[in-house]
Structure 1
């Protein structure tokens, strides 16, 4: 399965406050990612968030179309709430108030994948 990693430029010294933002994260009701017509375009399999000093990284394991995943995430109440609550702790503001802004920000903050390894799953 492919992975995506997106970064956030966090103010140093705010790690505990940022961790608190993610403590009550609301997962989407469904892992199925729809396309523009509502047909399945992928799935979000897992996410993880890591922080050290001024860098926060969100890892996403997914199937399917990454653009559809980003659009799906843009509309999720839990993701929108996290973006809103993170705003005071950011060194660099993120334009995530609209779906298009979220997708642009998502793409601009992605880390380049160098390699991925996984064991086969049944």
Structure 2
């Protein structure tokens, strides 16, 4: 499993509208045609900063292409555009790649608890 996160800013005073959009969109299909699986997503917001985290099993470029083609995600991203502090262009593969390159957070570490079996 791999974890990825992107971050972007929204205009001051729009946080409640953004929270509503991000909490209430239809989820995408969880598996891509090549078998990569989107295991889960989490979204955080504070002081106009949004962090979208996803866990996948497989290939990140495959998930990104898959999500870009999902109708519910396309609609969500279109509706989010009006609230963004910095404009973006997701209408072309080049624009989407540029946005994600700039928005992708650097993964520093993941720690997972391990437990010994009890008798």
1:96 aligns with 2:72: no
Q: How many residues align?
A: 114
Gap change, CA 1:59 and 1:77, over 3 Å in 2: same
- The 2-side partners of 1:15 and 1:54 are apart by 6
* Runs of 4+ with deviation above 3 angstroms: none
Note the aligned Cα RMSD (angstroms). 1.6
Partner of 1:32: 31
Q: Could you tell me whether the CA contact under 8 Å between 1:8 and 1:55 is conserved in 2? A: yes
* CA distance, structure 1, for counterparts of residue 27 and residue 94 of structure 2: 21
Structure 2: any 5+ residue segments left out of the alignment?
Answer: 115-119
> As a proportion of its length, which structure holds more strand?
1
What TM-score, normalized to structure 1? 0.84
C-alpha distance in 1 between matches for 2:85 and 2:31? 33
Q: Which TM-score applies when normalising by structure 2?
A: 0.85
1:77-117 deviation per Cα after TM superposition (whole angstroms, max 9, x unaligned): 12111111111111101211234432332232100000012
